[in-house]
Amino acid sequence: MQRTFRWKSKLGLVAVVLGLVATGFVIVPRVLDDGPVAVTLRADSGFANSMFWSPDGTILAVGGSDIELWDLEAGEVSQTFVRAGSIDSVAWSPDGTMLAVGGEDDDNDTVGLWDVLTGEEIQIFEGHTDDVRSVAWSPDGTTLATGSEDTTVRLWDVTTGESTNTFEAHIEGVWSVAWSPDGTILASGGSVDREGPEDPTLKLWDPASGKLIQGIEAANVWIDSVAWSPDGAMLAATDADTVTLWDPATGENLRNLELGSFNASVGSVAWSPDSAQLATGSDDGTIRLWDTSTGEIIKLFEGHTDSVDSVAWSPDGTRLVTGGWDALKLWTVEDI
């Protein structure tokens, strides 16, 4: 059974705080406009570059200096996987049995595949020549896509560990890759070469043929994060202080979600399961929930004291986890 946390009174808050302290949670309550209260799962000098919920919503994978698997029912880390270098991206397999991991490694630029039951690294994908910034599973779980600072996107056969295709149309590093919900299109986003030739930084690929379907001039600076809406109708891509929602079929800009601050940039986005809302985390320590049909901000979450580098929505849409350099926080959002 999954726990969600809401407080209706001061007495109720005290009771819940005492109960959660007994189970190992650290509580930092902060109510925003009668909104949700954040439970701080971890408050230390560690960092969370990437987070991914297990398909059943019971375990959270967190990538930073190591890989942590959080049992959210117990409120504690159930497993830790140690890997050389820092972790930039983690992704759970659709069947929930494996975890793909990419990041920075001075010795080699590999992608690891871990068995979450045994804690063993069961496969290593070799071929990239620079840091691996993003990993993403195909919906059928047979193929892994990776994006790297070496400017390439690679596809890998999960069973054999062999690279099945390499896409080389990017001029600068690739920071994010994302599959369409039906698995027929792969999106990739990266940096802009301001002094070089024009390079549409959001690219859509046919993974079956390896052909570039279209390139969208989607950024003035860089794309940190690309994410498909679960219904496949929209594609969100960050660009400094703006998130643009694109129609992947036409390449049309549907609307811009703007922070309105030159002091903040968006580092991570996550769609609600019903595609109605988008969560964004930015380097001013705030999290915003947006109405994707109107482009309006539904709720502003505060509580982080440093950059929010990763946001992840639970599969049932009731909880949001946010992470950065200062803390790992769990929010209940089902009442919004």
**Average pLDDT of the segment spanning 319-326:** 89
* Order of strands across the sheet that contains 174-179: 174-179, 186-190, 202-205, 212-216
More confident residue, 334 or 273: 273
Q: How far apart are CA 217 and CA 18, in angstroms?
A: 52
Please list the residue range(s) of the chain that carry CATH number 2.130.10.10. Answer: 47-328
Q: Which residue has the tokens 């705080």?
A: 17
More confident residue, 34 or 72: 72
Q: Which residue has the tokens 């986003």?
A: 189
pTM of the predicted model, to two decimals?
A: 0.84
3-state secondary structure of 258: strand
> Is residue 174 very low, low, confident or very high in pLDDT (cuts 50, 70, 90)?
very high
User: CA nearest 112: which of 150, 152, 61?
Assistant: 61
189-223 confidence digits (pLDDT tens): 987 765 555 666 899 999 999 999 998 887 677 88
Look up residue 17 and give its two tokens. Answer: 């705080």
Which range, 9-13, 51-55, 217-221, 303-307, is most confident? 51-55
Q: How far is CA 307 from CA 34, 177, 228, 265, in A?
A: 24, 22, 23, 9
**Average pLDDT of the segment spanning 239-264:** 86
Residue 257 confidence (pLDDT):
92
Look up residue 303 and give its two tokens. Answer: 């509580």
- The answer to whether 224 and 175 have CB atoms below 8 angstroms apart is yes
**Average pLDDT of the segment spanning 47-56:** 91
Residue 106 confidence (pLDDT):
62
- The answer to whether 30 and 332 have CB atoms below 8 angstroms apart is no
**What percent of the chain lies above the pLDDT cut of 90?**
56
219-246 confidence digits (pLDDT tens): 677 888 999 999 999 999 998 888 999 9
34-47 confidence digits (pLDDT tens): 445 678 887 665 67
Least confident of 50-59, 104-113, 218-227, 262-271: 104-113
Q: How far apart are CA 218 and CA 245, in angstroms?
A: 10
Hey, which residues does 145 pair with through a beta bridge?
Answer: 136, 155
**What is the pLDDT of the chain when averaged over all its residues?**
83
Q: How far apart are CA 89 and CA 48, in angstroms?
A: 10
> Is residue 57 very low, low, confident or very high in pLDDT (cuts 50, 70, 90)?
very high
Q: Looking at domain 47-328, does it have CATH number 3.40.50.970?
A: no
Q: How far apart are CA 104 and CA 110, in angstroms?
A: 9
3-state secondary structure of 19: helix
Look up residue 136 and give its two tokens. Answer: 């993403």
